[in-house]
Structure 1
Amino acid sequence: MFAALLPKSAPFFEMLQEQNQLLRHMAGLLVEMLDRTTGMDDAHKRISLLEEQGDALHVRIIRALSQTFITPIDREDILRINQMQEEAMDGIHTLTTRLHIFEFDEVRFPMLQMSRAIRSMLELTSLMLDGLSHRQDCHKTHAFRLLRDECDMVLAVGLAELMDQPENISARDIMDILKWSQAYDRISMLLENVNSLAETLEEAVLKNV
């Protein structure tokens, strides 16, 4: 009888998984945007719409936490996962906005390869979140480390290629270097966002599984 009178927990895992799905969809569109430059405008619009949905869901989770006494895991973990996923979505949106504004004729391979690796990293976060919701061991530390190391290596190659320019470089080439430097900086920030999300999930798994 007493248990029936207790307030019910909001569906936090369902909301976090919905948020993660939006994030992975955005990551897939980022790869599509870089893989097919002719569709950049459409991909950017779709990413912007998904980011708006993500913002609304982020607020909904926070509101639910403020109104819920019982949570399936520590509310601090829910809050941090929510925040890290929100920041990753913001990172994708910011990167794609820059790419859209710069209107590159061609995409450098390191950028495309990093976006693919980030998409794979986010697929791992989905598995971790699902495992956490079922109280199952879902550590992906080794797989994450391999993808992160790949991104670091590819980024280093991309920056080295960018700086390897002839002495008689044109003004247009200089502008192109500046644009790509900003793009690499933004995807590096996105990589940090995704890495922070993975670490947050790992901590939650260690505490709750």
Structure 2
Amino acid sequence: MSLNSIFQYFIPKDKKFFPLFEKDSANLISLGEKLVEALNTEDLTRRKELFKDIEDLEHTGDEITHQIHLELSKNFITPFDREDIHRLASALDDIADYIHGSASRIDLYQVTEITPPIKELASLILQACQDLNKAIHELRDLKNVRIIADSCVRINSIENQADYVFDKAVSELFMYEKDAVKLIKYKEILSALEDATDMCEDAANVLESILVKNA
């Protein structure tokens, strides 16, 4: 048993940070689900309602992030490295921001035709959020480190898939889209969606850092 593991044994069980991170990652799944539903419905009124739900969920995420930072300022003893707690909270907040940003761009740009690459990127975001949620639930005792590691590997793979989808979609836009304004709108939406998967990878990198430090 490592010295760090022995030290962790004597630390009181955390009742603040883990529940907040689990709540945050569950909120991300809700955001991903709303995004996928919004982009797969032809009912524009329903899509508008779902975009409003996404905005509300993003505000919920902001509140959770604020609570995490507040607890960080109040507690001297933390379940793992303070910097990693801050980095993980920020990464999860960024994911919510980019999901909301993607939905906002579609709404503000009045884009009604949702292309297959946009739908595919939304689906990849949801998959990454589900894997993050699974990994974060294993942080409480770090007994199933393999589950966390496997989730991180899958998230990295998802981000690579998203890169491919994004690059191919943008390439086709420049190749076939003759309307410059439409091209810019779609490129901005695709970019925001792809950025969301980058943020998922950032969160996975933090989780991997936590594993290494607490092995």
Q: Normalized against structure 2, the TM-score is what?
A: 0.85
Higher mean C-alpha deviation, range 94-103 or range 33-42: 33-42
Q: Give the 4+ runs in structure 1 shifted more than 6 A.
A: none
Deviations along 1:57-101, one digit per CA (max 9) or x if unpaired, are: 111111111111221112222111111101111111111100111
Match of residue 3 from structure 1? none
Higher mean C-alpha deviation, range 45-54 or range 29-38: 29-38
Q: What is the CA–CA distance in structure 2 between the aligned matches of 1:175 and 1:154, rounded to whole Å?
A: 21
Report matched runs for 1:148-187 at 5 Å: 148-165=159-176, 169=178, 173-187=179-193
Residues 110, 158 of structure 1: 8 Å contact kept: yes
Aligned residue pairs, count:
199
Higher mean C-alpha deviation, range 132-141 or range 112-121: 132-141
Report matched runs for 1:179-198 at 5 Å: 179-198=185-204
Unpaired stretches in structure 1, ≥5 consecutive residues: 1-5
Match of residue 126 from structure 1? 133
Q: What is the CA–CA distance in structure 2 between the aligned matches of 1:144 and 1:55, rounded to whole Å?
A: 23
Match of residue 101 from structure 1? 108
Q: Partner letter of residue 106 of structure 2? A: L
Residues 158, 197 of structure 2: 8 Å contact kept: no
Match of residue 119 from structure 2? 112
Unpaired stretches in structure 2, ≥5 consecutive residues: 1-10
- Quote the offset at 1:142 in angstroms: 3.2
Residue from 93, 96, 99 that aligns with 1:89: 96
Aligned CA distance change for structure 1 residues 67 and 10 (closer, same or farther; 3 Å): farther
- Quote the offset at 1:50 in angstroms: 0.8
The answer to whether 1:142 aligns with 2:142 is no
Q: What is the CA–CA distance in structure 2 between the aligned matches of 1:142 and 1:163, rounded to whole Å?
A: 32
| Higher Cα radius of gyration | 1
SS at match of 2:113: coil
Q: What is the CA–CA distance in structure 2 between the aligned matches of 1:52 and 1:30, rounded to whole Å?
A: 15
Match of residue 35 from structure 1? 40
- Quote the offset at 1:165 in angstroms: 2.4
Residues 51, 90 of structure 1: 8 Å contact kept: yes
SS at match of 2:20: helix
Q: Partner letter of residue 200 of structure 1? A: V
Q: What is the CA–CA distance in structure 2 between the aligned matches of 1:188 and 1:117, rounded to whole Å?
A: 9
Q: Partner letter of residue 115 of structure 1? A: A
Report matched runs for 1:21-32 at 5 Å: 21-32=26-37
Residues 37, 107 of structure 1: 8 Å contact kept: no
- Quote the offset at 1:174 in angstroms: 2.5
SS at match of 2:114: coil
Match of residue 65 from structure 2? 58
